[in-house]
Amino acid sequence: MPYVNKFIITADHQKAYEILLQNGFNMSQTQRLIDKGRLICGGSVVSEKNAVLCGDVFLIDYEAKPKGLKPIFECESFAVFDKPSGVLSHPNGRHCDYSLNDEIYTLFGRDASVAHRLDCETSGVIVVGKDRNSTIKLKKIFENREVSKSYVAMVQGKIEQEFTIDAKMDLANNYDDVKMRMQICENGKSAVTKILPIKYFDDIDTTLIRAIPLTGRQHQIRLHLFHVKHKILGEPLYGLLRPQIEKILDKEMSEHERINLTGAKRLLLHSDEISFKFDENFYTIKSKFDAESEFYKFAKEANN
């Protein structure tokens, strides 16, 4: 488990920040750890960096357990990974078993971070800042939409011509604890996606398409394609009943059952290419994943 309750010292009237500095953290890391309530003394959370501590001190720390995933591109300021489906971009809580952070921290240290996110089941290119300054600059580029992204997906039905989906969307407010589910709504935020067909597979009635999001809403491509009745195969949220969704999210559904229900054992959506300008240089990074053959193979499983 990445987060561990680690004993670091028995304090004798020492300041909290000094203890963390002595254990290899810099001042900014020390402040973040204390702000997040990660430092414990005498069973109580330490909330001030200048607090004078006495007794056993524990740190709730992230213990990286890498699996050997390497970047497909790297420069001095950032790296780009080809994230597999099923891997979280960032830990989703203290009981998270593995995320891209396990690789990032191991390779680049604690000040490295993803500059944007991909859904857990969406695979593909994801940009990582190697230090805090680079990450801040990269995040600003993404927030200002100074990035071009391209995805490939395998969808239900036949698509013969390119078209654009322009449908406002927002967070669904009637779905209790499944907060990531979005909805099409007239009063939502602008969302525009360009769809281009790549190849139709008549034996399984599916189309491999390229999706280019012109805005950056959560689940935009997934919801837009569901909205126009070309749902992405393997979709674990849209078009399903709540008990089915919960069974998938809680990993209680068998692979066979999910294939029969959704058309694939994973979401067949892949971040294929990303382009942006950083420090006066223009970068275009393309995934090495063969989406056409892999997605066809996954889709074919449901027809066997």
Name the nearest CA neighbour of 30 among 110, 96, 105, 97.
110
Q: Contact at 8 Å (CB) between 69 and 81?
A: yes
Q: Contact at 8 Å (CB) between 250 and 236?
A: no
Q: Is 202 a catalytic residue?
A: no
Plot region of 37 (φ>0 → left; ψ -120 to 50 → alpha; else → beta) = left
Q: Contact at 8 Å (CB) between 81 and 116?
A: no
The phi, psi pair for 195, rounded to 5°, reads -115, 130
Return the H-helix or E-strand segment holding 57. strand 52-62
113-114 vs 192-201, strand pairing mode: unpaired
Catalytic residue among 61, 82, 102, 119: 119
Q: Which residues are catalytic?
A: 119
